[in-house]
Structure 1
Amino acid sequence: MNPPPPSSPSRTVSFRHWPGCQERWLSFTDGHSPHDWHGIATLSTPANGTPASGLGVVILGGGAQSRVGAHRQFVLLARAWATQGHAVLRFDWPGLGDATGTVQPFDQLAGHAERALNLLKQHCPEARRLVLLGLCDGASVALMHQARPQSTAVDGLCLINPWVRSAHSLARTHLKHHYLQRLRQASFWQKVLSGQVGWPQLRDLGLNLLRAGGHHAPTPATFQERMRQGWCRFQGHRLVLISQHDTTGQEFETSVRQDPAWTPPAQAASLQWQALRHADHTCSTPDTHDALEQAVSRWLASLAT
């Protein structure tokens, strides 16, 4: 059951201790239409006695995920990073989890990311440096947020398998990560000559070649162009994590590395790419989850120093 609208735009709902960290449940509303959307957020902070790093992280979920995340991913990550001294906020998008309102397309969520940043600053004024961390189209939202005029400046973007899907970029990714590898294998040509690879497979190869070829320039209205603008405007630190077994992440990496229009400005701070070996889209196994947590932990520690 969704909670009733709060009596004020933002208030603390509950408070709970976990080993090494403490958590507060916060509620907030859209300041322009308080009866249309009521959101719930969970703020994880260091336990008493643990020095605060001065770093605040807002987690942006992807797809139809609540603030818990797939296989409780966001819960585990937030608590781990809070024990390291960081303040971590995770929240429900409109219409998902405990939030009221109507589910919105991801390309319309950048304003809610801004509200989450303001909520974190309100309840953790000691968090002087801010990071947006997103998975899948949550990472896309983080970039589109940076393309908005007068958005809150953040010091870091952590992008995990960002969603930049288009027929053109998907075809290029399939060619690079699947078809070109298959074309180099003798077993593939043996199957072609023996008839085990039929016309449907060859037709798919031809279609991918056609879609990947030629020049493709997104119009200003597309979410891909807004992502590109945010990528190029952002001047802080970036960590991009790409899972080895994820077409979505591979598609983003292919798009950025092969398109000169995605070149960040010369004055931008450091950009780090890291491959997550053996990982799927959400790093669903214990080993790949740990690898994700540790990679981000090292990066956050470098920002906090």
Structure 2
Amino acid sequence: MRELIAFPCVGDTLVGTLDAAEGGTGLLIVSGGNEIRIGAHRGMALLAADIAAVGHPVFRFDRRGIGDSTGANRGFEASGDDIAAAVAAFRRAAPGVTRVVAFGNCDAASALALHGVGGIDAFVLANPWVIETADALPPAAAIRARYAERLRDPKAWLRLVTGGVNMGKLAQGLSKVSKAPAEEPAGLAGRLAAGMAARAEPIMILLAKRDNTAVAFNEAWQASAFDPLRGRLTIAERDTGSHSFHTAEDKAWLREQLLRAMAP
């Protein structure tokens, strides 16, 4: 059964959707970017129905300023109150839930890592967003990975010698990747490392191996700031370039990982 629920958040009203089920472990889905709770191509709504069908209640919501919720959109870095309000609303609406697993993709994963929200018992963070760049190019780690792939492709060499490559873009990319990576992740990546290290709850990281956001996270992960997390969390990779795990096979894999995280 699917139920629409309105609940308060710092003077505003958020709207969420509960897919009810009898299980004691529930899934809280936090939307990334400015995406509404239904998800791209109804992806989050379909995922919620699938998880609820095997016995786990699922709660999705629109943060302030998004979709059906009131207020100003302050972005993922200011969404701690929204997540906390959603956890409380979920537990009120599904009193049989004794354990909440929170799932977010991209900057929703980063939001979950950054904010010390209570009432969450485990985290599944997919393709955490660590990119801070002022230009239109992909992150340096993704450019390096793409160049390495192309250097193994004879057709790429043919395009280069026949003028089929944009030399301006190539020069920009080479300039970006030539800069040595910092010893420690600065800014957002460093804050994510600190946020995750401060948590005692289980954390699972899911990565779409060929996605630019995942590639950037993987590079940040090599820094010593993440050392306290090594051995404490689980990382699972899917050999896909789909950031949102949108193919049928990717969706099945994502569902499997979520159910694994929700298992007793």
TM superposition score normalised by structure 2: 0.87
1:15-45, Cα deviation, whole Å (9 max, x unpaired): xxxxxxx222211122x4x2xx211111112
Unpaired runs of 5+ residues, structure 2, are none
Q: What is the alpha-carbon distance in structure 2 between the residues aligned to residue 123 and residue 157 of structure 1? A: 21
Q: What is the alpha-carbon distance in structure 1 between the residues aligned to residue 15 and residue 114 of structure 2? A: 22
* Identity between Structure 1 and Structure 2 (%): 27
Q: Are positions 1:42 and 2:17 aligned together? A: yes
Unpaired runs of 5+ residues, structure 1, are 1-21, 47-51
Shift of 1:119: 1.2
Hey, which bits of structure 1, 4+ residues long, moved more than 6 A?
none
Structure with max Cα Rg: 1
Q: What is the alpha-carbon distance in structure 2 between the residues aligned to residue 252 and residue 117 of structure 1? A: 26
**Secondary structure of 1:264 counterpart:** helix
The CA RMSD measured in Å over matched residues stands at: 2.5
Q: What is the alpha-carbon distance in structure 2 between the residues aligned to residue 60 and residue 141 of structure 1? A: 9
Does the 8 Å CA contact 1:107/1:223 hold for their aligned counterparts? no
One-letter amino acid of the structure 2 residue matched with residue 248 of structure 1: T
Q: Are positions 1:113 and 2:83 aligned together? A: yes
| 2:205 aligns with one of 234, 240, 248 | 240
* Aligned 1:37-186 pairs, distance under 5 A: 37-46=12-21, 52-146=22-116, 151-167=117-133, 170-175=139-144, 177-186=145-154
| 2:214 aligns with one of 249, 265, 270 | 249
One-letter amino acid of the structure 2 residue matched with residue 263 of structure 1: D
1:140-182, Cα deviation, whole Å (9 max, x unpaired): 1110123xxxx3052211112221112499212321x212233
Shift of 1:214: 4.3
Number of equivalent positions:
261
**Secondary structure of 2:66 counterpart:** coil
**Secondary structure of 1:278 counterpart:** coil
TM superposition score normalised by structure 1: 0.76
One-letter amino acid of the structure 1 residue matched with residue 3 of structure 2: R
Q: Are positions 1:262 and 2:226 aligned together? A: yes
| 2:250 aligns with one of 258, 270, 288 | 288
Does the 8 Å CA contact 2:194/2:225 hold for their aligned counterparts? no
